[in-house]
Amino acid sequence: MDPSKSRDSAESTRVIQFPNDVLERILSLIDSHRDRNAVSLVSKAWYNAERWTRRHVFIGNCYAVSPQIVARRFPNIRSVMLKGKPRFSDFNLVPPNWGADVHGWLAVFADQYPQLEELRLKRMTVTDESLKFLARKFHNFRVLSLLSCDGFSTDGLEAIATDCRHLTELDIQENGIDDISGNWLSCFPENFTSLEVLNFASLSSDVNFDALERLVSQCKSLKILKVNKSITLEQLQRLLVRAPQLTELGTGSFLQELTAHQYEELERAFIGCKYLDALSGLWEATTLYLPVLYPACTNLTFLNLSYAALQSEELAKLVAHCPRLQRLWVLDTVEDVGLEAVASSCPLLEELRVFPADPYDQDINRGVTESGFLAVSLGCRKLHYVLYFCRQMTNAAVARIVQNCPGFTHFRLCIMKPGQPDYLTNEPMDEGFGAVVKTCTNLRRLGVSGLLTDLTFEYIGRYAKNLETLSVAFAGGSDLGMKSILVGCPKLRKLEIRDCPFGNEALLSGLEKYESMRSLWMSACKVTLHGCKTLATQRPRLNVEVMKDEEIDDGQSYKVYVYRTVAGPRTDAPSFVQTLCS
């Protein structure tokens, strides 16, 4: 062999042939699953090293892959995050018993990952049996986080509290569950000390306060405590003095008749909370008690007032004490005036979410308007994430807002009346959203609303080159709208559409696209079974699931959910879900 050649090839092979353990050591430092996915594509050696060192797997669509495939590829997983149902299931657009049951996964994990420590589920169905199974089978289990899940009750939580001896995190958020009793909290063993995160804010049953107090006293590493509404101010004070190390606090009810002495004690308790950077709960908070919070707000970066119907002045006074605020969630009871106060007090604000206090009452003329949003954009130049529910908006305001804050990554505007135009000009909101996509080049997530023609979507297709998630409702004029998006947005991953005039032609214009996306949802649109069948035939690696839309009588309307998968059609589909086969 030519010596120079052999040297070259030897060198080139040497470069990539780290000893495996070195490679694995290096790769084990990489956490981001996207980076890891990239790493695994370099070479077979790197693929193997990566798979052996991966500890955490994120599965954005539980049907895109099977637990067996996951276990086969990644032998050493300790932590799993699974997302199940389409996002529109949060809004009752998906019938119950649709699927996304975690049990199948748990069964495989019990076998393959007995050392599993963390499970984070979003929009999955979790039964009490599954929770009991989990508590029984995984002896090293530490972290359970359930967001927007359903199917379980507080009985299941009892099993978790009783049997998971090393539990560090129990995070129950906004689930549709059966809240039978608060007894689960009393199920933690007497000598239990490991809890670091406890969030039961969304449960309503009373818990045994003594048990809670004991738990908080014993768990010295407790950093995040979010209690539910049943906990009174007086009780809160007792908890706070036992846990001054808290970094995130969710209070209980913030309304109670306190004596002057109790009030002072409460004040002192909050003064003692020197490390708080997130605050939430505050049910029924009023002018009377909000001031006790002030001393604790200095370092606050996240304030969640979305369950506290504050008025403008109350908010103004509160945020005046929160100069470092980065994320704020409020109800629209604070109105534009409240938002103006935010604009002047919180220059570091990056995220604002304004929820409607009364989303269904169209008679009232309250809430926030374009002025509030505009004010915040003027005062908070770092703003990049907004979720804004309002009853009126104008193109001009939106254009100015993004001019003030061109760095938007998430722009979710919900004008609550479907199909409402610019209320001053009566024109569609095309130009407003056009301005958003033209100006905000980093835009990753967009939620549109109001009266929109195909022009909006042409703009999106043309300009939103970083867009990953798009939500559309009651908008558009023809297939052209949806086509523009599918053809124009190279990074699109999630597209959810409801009540729009997009039909088969639009659906099929995405043939080249869907395999690079996580999923597509279309409901109350104009697609027909025939169109879906065509899609299924031409793209066998997609699951094309259709459900009869029971709201529409013509027998031809379907809800369509399309997603890429390596696991084939799902085997647990209920009778009302039909997977179209090629």
Segment 203 to 262, residues that bind other proteins, using CB under 8 A: none
Name beta bridge partners: 415.
Answer: 390
Contact in structure between 494 and 518 (CB atoms under 8 Å): yes
Report yes or no: 447 and 414 within 8 Å, Cβ to Cβ: yes
- Residue number, 406 or 419, with CB nearest to other proteins: 419
Torsion of CA 337, 339, 343, 347, to 10 degrees: 150
Q: For the window 71-110, what string marks contact with other proteins as x by the rule CB under 8 A? A: -----------------x-xxxxxxx--------------
Is residue 420 close enough to count as binding other proteins by CB under 8 A?
yes
Using the minimum distance from each CB to other proteins, give the nearer residue, 216 or 315: 315
| 404/449 with CB nearer other proteins | 449
Task: Say whether residue 490 binds other proteins (CB under 8 A).
Answer: no
Q: Where are the alpha helices (DSSP H) in 405-503?
A: 430-439, 454-463, 479-488
Residues, the chain: 582
For residue 145, what are the CA distances in angstroms to 118, 164, 258, 497?
Answer: 8, 14, 34, 28
Q: What is the DSSP letter of 253?
A: B
| Span from 57-65, 192-200, 486-494, 554-562 in contact with other proteins (CB under 8 A) | 554-562
Q: Which stretch binds other proteins (CB under 8 A): 25-33, 243-251, 399-407, 411-419?
A: 411-419
Residue 95 or 272: which CB sits closer to other proteins?
Answer: 95
- From 16-24, 182-190, 496-504, 562-570, span contacting other proteins (CB under 8 A): 496-504
Q: 264: Cβ–Cβ under 8 A, 6 or more apart, which residues?
A: none
Helices 479-488 and 454-463 sit at what angle, rounded to 10 degrees?
Answer: 10
Which CB atom, from 42 or from 552, has the smaller least distance to other proteins? 552
Give me the amino acid identity at 426: N
Residue carrying structure tokens 């214009």: 509
Strand 558-564 versus strand 197-199 pairing type: unpaired
555 belongs to the binding site for other proteins (CB under 8 A): yes
- Contact between 524 and other proteins by CB under 8 A: the answer reads yes
Q: Compute the distance between CA of residue 282 and CA of residue 442 in angstroms, rounded to an integer.
A: 34
Find the binding residues for other proteins in span 315-374 (CB under 8 A).
331, 333, 355-366
Nearer to other proteins, 51 or 391 (CB): 391
List the one residue from 379, 457, 549, 564 that touches other proteins (CB under 8 A). Answer: 549
Shorter beta-carbon distance to other proteins: residue 399 or 473: 473
Applying CB under 8 A, the site for other proteins has a residue count of 74
Classify burial at 315, counting beta carbons within 10 Å of its beta carbon; exposed 0-12, middle 13-18, buried 19 or more. buried
State how far Cα 419 lies from the chain centre. Answer: 26
CB of 422 to other proteins, least distance (A): 8
Output 341 or 452, the one with its CB closest to other proteins.
Answer: 452
Distance of closest approach, residue 379 Cβ to other proteins, in angstroms: 26
At 235, which amino acid appears? Answer: Q
Smaller CB separation from other proteins, 179 or 213: 179
Name which position in 125, 148, 199, 280 contacts other proteins (CB under 8 A).
148
Nearest distance, CB of residue 150 and other proteins, angstroms: 9
Q: Of these, 8, 257, 550, 572, which contacts other proteins (CB under 8 A)?
A: 550
Q: Which tokens in the block code for residue 11?
A: 């060198």
Q: Minimal CA–CA distance to 280: which of 247, 242, 312?
A: 247
Tokens of 83: 């997302």
Pick the stretch among 44-52, 151-159, 317-325, 543-551 that binds other proteins (CB under 8 A). Answer: 543-551
The answer to the question of residue 485 lying near other proteins (CB under 8 A) is no
- Binding of residue 574 to other proteins (CB under 8 A): no
Identify which of residues 192 and 423 has a Cβ nearer to other proteins in the complex.
Answer: 423
Q: Which of 206, 234, 499, 505 binds other proteins (CB under 8 A)?
A: 499
Q: Give the per-residue SS3 of 369-391.
A: CHHHHHHHHHHCCCCCEEEEEEC
- Residue closest to 516 by CA, chosen among 483, 544, 494, 534: 494
For position 309 contacting other proteins by CB under 8 A, the verdict is yes
Distance CA 339, CA 334 (A): 7
Instruction: Decide whether 242 or 327 has the Cβ nearer to other proteins.
Output: 327
Please tell me whether residue 407 adopts helix, strand or coil conformation.
coil
Compare residues 333 and 543 and give the one whose CB is closer to other proteins.
333
- Residue in the structure block whose two tokens are 């004040």: 267
Residue among 287, 552, 568, 582 that touches other proteins (CB under 8 A): 552
| 3-state DSSP assignment of residue 77 | coil
Instruction: Enumerate residues 149-178 that contact other proteins by CB under 8 A.
Output: 174-176
Q: What is the C-alpha to C-alpha distance for residues 503 and 483, in angstroms, rounded to an integer?
A: 10
- Which range binds other proteins by CB under 8 A, 230-238, 289-297, 305-313, 335-343? 305-313
Q: How far is the CB of 414 from other proteins (least distance, A)?
A: 6
Q: Do the Cβ atoms of 470 and 489 come closer than 8 Å?
A: yes
